[in-house]
Chain A
Amino acid sequence: MGPLASRADTVSAPALRWPLRLRAPRLIGPVLAAPVTLWLLLAFAAPLSVVVLLSLQEFADPFAPLSLVPSGAQFQTIFDDSFYLRVVGETLALAAGVTALTVILGYPLALWLARMPARWRPLAFAVILVPLLTNVVVRSLGIVLLLAPDGLINQLLGFFGLPPARTMLYTHGAVALALAQVFMPFLVLALYDVLQGISPKVQEAAETLGASRTLRTLVVDLPLSLPGLRAGIVIVFLMSSTAYVSATLLGGKKVWTTGMLVWQEALQNLNGPLAAALAIVMTALSTLFAVAVFTLAKRLMPWATGRPAGAVTIPAWLARAVDIVGRPLGILLLVVSLGLLLLPLVLVCIQSFNDVPQATVAGFRAFTFKWYERVLTGGVYGDSFLVSVQLALASAAISLALAVPAAFALARRPFPGLSILAAFWMLPLSLPHVAIGVGMLRLLQIYTVVPPFLGLVAVHVVLILPFAISLLHASVGQLDRAQEEAAATLGADAVRRFVFIVLPGLAPGLTAAAIMSFLLSFGEVTVTSFLTTARMTTLPVRIYAESTFSLEPTVHAVSAILIVATVAALLVLNKMVRLDRLHAR
């Protein structure tokens, strides 16, 4: 903590009246960290323990009670088998590739969003959220049409007289592109608030020192956005290391991920122990990655911990090169990433009116309104939609309520052991969701005692928390403490400072986190499909169920309606909450 921060503490401590008059300010951190830890202990520790216990079983018998004598047999199987090791290695490499691709494509997009005039921002937000609002089937159809032997890219190549690339589909590249498309919104949302929060004063200072706009992006925006980038990278890496649906759809089984293996062992072969062990190996490795990223980010941001930063000289040739290449490259990347985001939108619009029996079939055949008719009058979609909205609203609200104090603990009130707690908070993200589902299966008898809605909320909150905490951690870290100090010296107590200074400052970050939380819960299918009951079918579970037979274009109509509803909701939201920071107005 810097000298500024500790001075702020001495000023604010006597004025602290809420939530508790704490004699010892060092208790504030643990108190802030308690709610989220408690929730995870109640709703996540149980399935996690089952997964751990399962991985230590010697034999796979779906009916045998779990043995408490640990055995390393499953891990032995994995480490003795070059196939498993290869898949684990390939999955990690895939995740790294996806992360790199997402950063390259997502960063220009985040800059574009942060610099957007306020009134266009809701639309820009909507564009970025398109992949999250469309079904995985639409998205992979988009990628298929892009990469197919007669697809868009090959037609483009042909136009320029280049030879076609006929084997782009069903490769790691295809899967990576699909994953980058759907994870890009997470990275952009993580960066958005941090980029917004960079003070114009710093920019002005750099400008007066002669830095061009492009150079400022490199030497001012990039370093100062590292907290957001760190959150985004960790989120994207962990999500792609556990992905399996896109890998199945676009990898054509030529691409194997650990998530696919976990699914196959747990469900098709009823081998819970091996699935659990695979999940644990994967979790351990990806947690290591997350720790490495945090350590590296810390070293790259000496100012965050008050350590002196050495000056870096940018050679003149590099500055010139950046000036020449930077802008066109940025525009090119922006166009590519916008194209990738909008591809599903175009397809949804076409496919939702297409008179074909399967959603995955491309090529327009005849115009029809029947899919909309079925969605709007069928009743079943409406019911599922309502369940999903209620669930997502409740889960997002609770997640934010738990994540805000946790973020303050991380950013302002570190205490011994907090980093271990923080690693525990991130676990639901790095444990493959199939494994959580398998853990829940073993607990189904206990779980069914809980009212179904509450049970689903509990689990969804667990899945959202890592995202919400990562995002808000970065946002809280960027709050301008000088404003709080000023308010404190003017006599504002902690409550007033929180309501009038902190909350407005956090509004953009909170909004981004709320949107992400809502959409995460709204789209969750992996764990939910294990827990859904006859009266609680969420929309994604219904769509997934359809896809197990044959998916009809109704899903495209659902997506189209969702996109329109989201744009409307964002426009309304923009009237109520400002999506930008104070100094940007």
Chain B
Amino acid sequence: MRKIFLLLFLIAALHATAQDEYQLAPPLLKYSSVFFKDKAVLTMSFRHPGAVIRYTTDGTEPNEKSRVYTNQLSVTAIQQTIRARSFAPGFKPSDVVAVSFVKDGIPVKNITGTAPDPAYSAKGMRTLYDNAGGSTDLHGGTWLGYMKDTVEFIVDAGTARPMKKILLSVLQQKGSWIYLPVWVTVDKWNGATKSFQAFMSYDFSGNEKAEDGIVFRDLIFPKGTVAGKLRIHIGTLKKIPSGLPGENESGWLFIDEIKLF
């Protein structure tokens, strides 16, 4: 009986100790863009006495045995996610911070479509295929912002070719009333009839509560798809549910890149 009490006491004590430590904030990740042609460079920093940054490149959560960051990392893989975390004696490790890099796919010749809100128009439609993006700074000049219920883009890759997917880089930032797309439809250009034909539709509803951050929305095509010109319609969150920032208002759509693969 006494042993059990001692054990319980120790468990309680350990629990109390863990509760009694502050948690570290995540490390600072710096890169010029998550989209790249040949190579992306990632630097990390966490200026806190005695702290180290540990990271993984295989999709697992970094733990106290993961590799310690010392020097900038080069990324060349087609799609790679790096996860990092701060550790220091006397503190609970930070939450995981992750960044995903995307190598250039099928070159986009031109994008036209709905004009963005003047306050978030960056460099116009060119913004969507300039290989610049991945920063959550809304005023950084890589995001187009929309306050409309539906947004249209026509993405032109030139001649028809095999195509596996479209990737939309979009943002969730609930505090700024920016929410992820609710649905997306893709129409394919038919050269014979000289018109767009309904091709695919994707339901992304129910993501209002998802964590803030940049999301790559993959629109996967059936095997054997051949396409040159596509029309995309994106449905935004018409009414923000109650309990979330900006409730009952319309959500903003923020998009910084459209890529073809």
To the question of whether A and B form a pair in one complex, the answer is no
Q: Which residues in A have some Cβ–Cβ distance to B below 8 Å?
A: none
Q: Which residues in B have some Cβ–Cβ distance to A below 8 Å?
A: none
